[in-house]
Each structure stands twice: as C-alpha cells, then as structure tokens.
Amino acid sequence: MNFGTGLDRRTHEDASIPRHSSTRGHALIVSWASGGNLPPLLAAGRLLVAREHAVSVLASAATREAAVRAGFEVIGYRRAPAPNTELAFEQHAAELMATAAGTELALDVRDVVAEVQPDLMIVDCMLPAGIAVSEAMGTPTASLVHFPYGPVRAQMLRGAGAWTTDRTQLNITRCGLGLEPAADGLAAWESPELLLVTVPRWFDLAADYPAKVIHAGPLGITRPIRVGTTRRRPLVLLSFSTTVMEGQTALVQRVCDAVAGDELDAILTLGPAVSAAEIRVPNNVEVVQYADHDQLLPTCRAVVTHGGLGTTLRALGHGKPLLLLPLGRDQARRAARSATVHQSRGESGRRDRSRRARRNGNRSTPQSRPARHLTNTCRQVSPPTAFPFGSACTRPSVQWV
C-alpha cells in the first residue's frame, strides 16, 4: 500500500490555515495524548514564540483545550480518533499504540505538513506515525522525549521490545509513506534529527548517547521573583496524575486521610482524572482542579505526589522535599532514581547542614519543620517498611515507597 502523492486536502476542522510571515520560521507541534506528554511540547512552543517563530499545534480533543489556552494556532485531526481519556493507559495500551503508529494519524499529519509547510516539526516521541511523516517529507524534526531516555534506550539495545511502539503497524505506515521498514525499535525511535529529552542529564541513566540525543532539562519551569505568604501553618502540595491510573482514587483518599488533623494545610490538585465528589476531603485540604505549580511551590514546604516527571522535577527545581508514592508505569523507577540522585548529591549537603546547625545552635530550619509534620503522614500512607520523611531538609529530600 502506498499513500501516493495526491493528498486529501480537505479543510481541517479549524477552517483555513493562515500563512505566517515570521522571519524566523514556522514550527509545527504534533500532539495527540495529554498527561505528561503535553506540557513540555507546549513549553517548547512558547520558547519558540519568544524567539519570534510562528507556532501551530496539531491537537486532538485531548490536547486542544490546553493548546488554545496557551495561545497557539490549533489545527484538528480529521481521521485519527482522539484518545479515550476515561481509561487508564494500561487498559487499552495496544489500541493506543496502534493508533499512534497508524495510517490515519500519518495522513492527518501529512496533510497539515503539506498545507503549513513548517520549517521545523516538534513531535511527541510516542507518535511514531508523525515522526515517519517528517522523515518522508524531509522536514527537520525534533522528537520530544518527556521521560528519562536512558533506561528505554538500554532496553531497546538489549532487543527487549520497541518501548510503546507498535512496530508492525508502524512498518505498514512507513511502507505507505514510501519509507523502508524500521529495522528495530531503536531505529524507529532515533530516526529524527534530534531527540530532545526534557530531563537533566544527571537525572537520566549514565550512558553514552548519540550526538542527536540532547538532554535539555525540564522546559517551562519558572521561579517567581518575589513570593510572600501570610500562612501560619506549613502548606503541602498534594499532586497526582492528570490522566486516569489504576488505584488513583484510593491513593488520593489515603493521603487525605493521612493529613487530616495534622498541623498543616494542603492543596490537592486533581486534574480531570478524579472527581472531588469521590474524595472525603478533610477541613485542612483545599481541592482545586489545576494550579500553577511554579507559582504555588515557593509557598509550599513539601510535595506529596505519585512521581509524575513534571511535578517531580518542578519540586526539585524549587528545592522542595518530596514524598513519592508511585502508582505504576515508570514511576517506581523514577522515584528510585530521584532518591539515588538525592543520596549521591547529599553528602556535601549534609556537611553544609552540620555547619549551619552548629551556627544555629542545632535549631531546626524552616524547611525541616514540615518534614517532621509529615512523618506521621508517611507512616499512615506508606507500608510499614517505608522510609520516613527526613527530619532535616535544607536541601530537597526524596523518599519513595
């Protein structure tokens, strides 16, 4: 099967696509799934806009609202179905991976590229059909990898699968685009000119990476210049996945039960995955659907989270203690890595704390107090073998269970 050169140029759901006169070029961001995939894609778009590039976003029903809210020109898919956001990834993984590698998505991307004629594409790394289109049409492309790439690459080097890629379906799509089949999973993943990994190099697996693999670090994290608070009690951020995960509601409830009655306040961000009506919320917990973590974190003393990469890196970036409660996927590995990095970087921090403690007469610092408040919380939320939260946290403390 070959898709041919006579593309279906029917108008997209967003009507005509305007031509841009930007002297710096035009970038097309290819999104499809929400969750952790989307924020770094939109952050990359904002960085390009700040450098006077025009940016369009190809969005599904799951990503459209966020792209519109961010101020981008949004183009809709015509053929490819939107992901079902009411199911956990694990419940329909095969279907999602087939769509992401499939011909319908490829044809939609190809139509938009033919119409927009971007100078650059930034594609969600989990959309191999979109990456194949960029290869077929000769458009320079960055695959945006929103998780530590080292463990994934090591797995593919061992021949242990193509990591969330339906290679059989992808090769059918590639054939239709006039491309050779991908020899293996690694060849498919590393076909773009650039793999932009949105974690720091020190957070990823220590390995020799090809020159095209660039660790850019987290995108879009900002620190307010001035932060003030009138709160008398420590504030803790409780943040869990914005996509549906198995056991998610039960975990949120356990955390809420654990902090009830503690001498602290908490803000619980639920996103669209859990309804506040499903949770018994104690009086000291405020529930919001979304919150700007960069604005909120400076006023927080600690963060309790499932270990999503965005929240984890933001907390580390703001220097906040972390309690990580993985629900699944790669979160346990990420939590273990966070703890390992903290331990390896903590020796100098412990020396610094000892010197400060001697100067302060061993008085606790402002950041050490919320850790003590959360000790009982950790015991309630975690199994008996869990590590308690550190008692002194002038540098970010990481514990996971």
Number of neighbouring beta carbons within 10 Å of residue 76: 17
CATH of 235-400 given 3.40.50.2000, 3.20.20.10, 3.30.1360.70, 3.90.105.20:
3.40.50.2000
Structure tokens of 348? 């100098």
Which residues neighbour 262 within 8 Å (Cβ) at sequence distance 6 or greater? 284, 373, 374, 376, 377
Separation in Å, CA 147 to CA 55, 66, 185: 23, 20, 17
- Where do runs of H (alpha helix) occur along 102-247? 103-116, 128-137, 149-157, 167-176, 185-189
- The CATH architecture of the domain made up of 26-215 is 3-Layer(aba) Sandwich (3.40)
pLDDT > 70: what percent of the chain? 72
pLDDT by residue (tens digit) across 258-283? 889 888 999 998 877 777 788 899 99
pTM: 0.75
Min mean pLDDT across 68-72, 113-117, 207-211, 308-312 is at: 308-312
Confidence category of residue 343, pLDDT binned at 50, 70, 90 = low
Quick one: pLDDT at residue 229? 67
Is the separation of the CB atoms in 200 and 154 below 8 Å?
no
Residue 162 has pLDDT above 80, yes or no: no
26-215 and 235-400 share one fold: yes
Distance CA 154, CA 398 (A): 25
Can you give the pLDDT at residue 251?
86
**Confidence at 137, pLDDT banded by 50, 70, 90:** very high
pLDDT score for 225: 64
Residue 289, pLDDT score: 81
Residue given tokens 């650059």 in the structure block: 120
Reported as a pLDDT band with limits 50, 70 and 90, residue 369 is: very low
Give yes or no for residue 366 having a pLDDT over 60: no
Amino acid identity, residue 268? Answer: L
Give the model's pLDDT for residue 386: 28
| Burial class, 258, CB count within 10 angstroms (exposed 0-12 / middle 13-18 / buried 19+) | buried
Of 259 and 180, the one with more pLDDT: 180
> Domain ranges in the chain?
26-215, 235-400
What is the CA angle 79-12-15, rounded to 5? 160
Inform me whether the pLDDT recorded for 207 exceeds 50. yes
Distance, in Å, from the CA atom of 340 to the CA atom of 157, rounded to the nearest integer, reads 24
Q: How confident is the model at residue 17 (pLDDT cuts 50, 70, 90)?
A: very low
Give pLDDT tens digits for 54-98.
999 999 999 999 999 999 999 999 999 998 877 776 667 889 899
Nearest to 152 by CA among 122, 126, 115: 126
Residue 232 in this model has a pLDDT that exceeds 60 = yes
Mean pLDDT comparison of 11-20, 32-41, 154-163, 173-182, highest-scoring range: 173-182
Q: What was the pLDDT predicted at 212? A: 97
Q: Which residue has the higher pLDDT, 317 or 177?
A: 177
